[in-house]
Amino acid sequence: MRSTVSVIKADIGSLAGHHVVHPDTMAAANRVLAEAKRQGIILDYYITNVGDDLELIMSHTRGELDTKVHETAWDAFKEATKVSKELGLYAAGQDLLSDSFSGNLKGMGPGMAELDIEERPSEPIAIFMADKTEPGAFNLPLYKMFADPFNTAGLVIDPTMNEGFKFEVLDVYEGQSVILNSPEEIYSLLGLIGTPARYVIRRVYRKADNMLGSVTSIERLNLIAGKYVGKDDPVLIVRLQHGFPALGEALEAFSFPYLVPGWMRGSHYGPIMPVSQRDAKATRFDGPPRLIGLGFNVKNGRLTGPSDLFDDPAFDETRRMAAMITDYMRRHGPFMPHRLEPTEMEYTTLPTLIEKLKPRFKKEEDVAKAKPSVYTSKDQGMD
Ligand code: F6R
Ligand code: MG
Ligand code: MG
């Protein structure tokens, strides 16, 4: 049976700052999704949050970019925003860039990943959702899951995986993509995806039969709106087992708390911390960037689950290391490389600062000429 899992997310406002979604806004979204399920638009759904992002997980048989499914998500975000405004939650409706819905959600603010597949007899999937980072943050774990035999034993052991995978990489600045084959082209692949702000792994396919293995959201809000309007906090869906990464191989890719951009004011690098749903709130310095993982089975377009995948002491050391890296990075204060490079900072006073100081910048030769009058003996404290 052909079915689709659509994960659509938006920040529609949060409690006490950009840190956690309020349960009443989730209840409002729930009413909309329950009604859509009653009408048969979607077959199943699950609502959660990571930090300030409201995450709608919906299953149906209507394919990608379906008007009715997207309209349902839009209505859910709108209803949640109403509650957000009533409660005076912070940044109510932040990610909804348009007033009216037209056709689908592309370019309208919400981020989305849609997995459109012919279901296998058992279809296990994992959905990863992160806050305080951007879509390219999934490049490193996707590479590990689908191309690195030190992470994924199946690449060596499972004959279907042994042929390798194809990576569809999107240049988010130019809006064009390229397919690169692993293992033959891994150096070229790494050459691109090592620049995650620009090159994002959008989809991975299994080479043996072209089966879709993963889908990432690719929306970068600041590129859509042309200015900072909020975070591009990403989602990722991965198909598991039987020729795809085993659940444990997919999770293993997150055992190292690598650095991602997007922390505090969208302008700092920090370690990604995999947590349970319970701990999915952004606190210290608005972070550190959080990741949750939910495991489901899809059957006849219905969802069984979830299992809260990082709610596990096996990830305690990863979290502890992330906390140590948090301390280490924070001690750099406003200095790079904790702070992002100016072009990637979400919003910044740097251009105005440079403009303001422009008249006070002097050429080196003029400084030399002016020296006697500028640096008087008095200034040097020699009087
Ligand atoms: C937003 C975020 C936060 C905010 C910060 C300042 O998702 O990551 O770090 O950027 O809290 O927010 P404002 O400018 O709204 O006061
Ligand atoms: Mg926010
Ligand atoms: Mg967020």
Share of the chain above pLDDT 70, in %: 93
DSSP letters, 283-329, are -BTTBS-EEEEEEEEEETTEEEEEEETT-SGGGHHHHHHHHHHHHHH
**Buried b vs exposed e over 197-226: b needs ≥16 C-beta within 10 Å?**
bbbbbbbbbbbeeebbbbbbbbbbbbeeee
The answer to whether the CB of 19 is under 6 A from ligand 1 is: no
- Amino acid letter, 309: L
Ion ligand 3 contact residues with beta carbon within 5 A: 11, 51-53, 131, 231, 233
| Sheet containing 2-10, strands listed edge to edge, beginning at the edge strand earlier in sequence | 44-50, 53-60, 2-10, 111-118
Cite the active site residues.
Answer: 11, 228, 231
pLDDT of 236? 98
The answer to whether 51 and 132 are in contact (CB under 8 A) is yes
> Model confidence over 71-112: pLDDT tens digits?
999 999 999 999 999 999 999 999 998 888 889 998 898 999
What's the pLDDT score for residue 50? Answer: 98
| Both structure tokens of 286 | 């608005």
Residue nearest atom 13 in ligand 1 by C-alpha distance? 265
Atom index in ligand 1 nearest the CA of residue 286 equals 9
- Alpha-carbon gap, residue 246 to 355, rounded angstroms: 53
Instruction: Tell me the ligand closest to 51's alpha carbon.
Output: 3
User: For the residues 184-196, what does the mean pLDDT come to?
Assistant: 97
Q: Quote the pLDDT of residue 18.
A: 94
Helix (H, G, I), strand (E, B) or coil at 216: strand
3-state secondary structure of 116: strand
Q: Best of 9, 14, 18 to mutate for ligand 1, by most ligand atoms within 8 A of CB?
A: 18
Q: What are the tens digits of pLDDT across the range 269-312?
A: 999 999 999 999 999 999 999 999 999 999 999 999 999 999 99
Ligand 1 pocket member 281 (CB < 6 A):
no
Question: From the CB of 252, is ligand 1 less than 6 Å away?
Answer: no
pLDDT in tens, 223-274: 666 665 556 899 999 999 999 999 999 999 999 999 999 999 999 999 999 9
12 alpha carbon, closest ligand: 2
Determine the Cα–Cα distance for residues 92 and 18; give it in Å rounded to an integer.
Answer: 10
Mind listing the pLDDT tens digit for each residue in 17-69? 999 999 999 999 999 999 999 999 999 999 999 999 999 999 999 999 999 99
232 lines ligand 1 (CB under 6 A): no
| Closest residue to atom 4 of ligand 1, CA basis | 265
The C-alpha atoms of residue 77 and residue 96 are separated, in whole angstroms, by 8
| pLDDT at residue 379 greater than cutoff 60 | no
**pLDDT given at position 221:** 65
Q: Which band of pLDDT confidence, cut at 50, 70 and 90, is reported for residue 373? A: low
Which residue's alpha carbon is at the smallest distance from atom 12 of ligand 1?
265
pTM: 0.94
Does the C-beta of 18 come closer than 6 Å to ligand 1? yes
Q: Which two tokens stand for residue 81?
A: 């925003």
On average, the pLDDT of the chain sits at: 93
Q: How far is the CA of 224 from the centre of ligand 1 (A)?
A: 19
Q: How far is the CA of 84 from the centre of ligand 2 (A)?
A: 13
Of 30-39, 156-165, 365-374, the least confident: 365-374
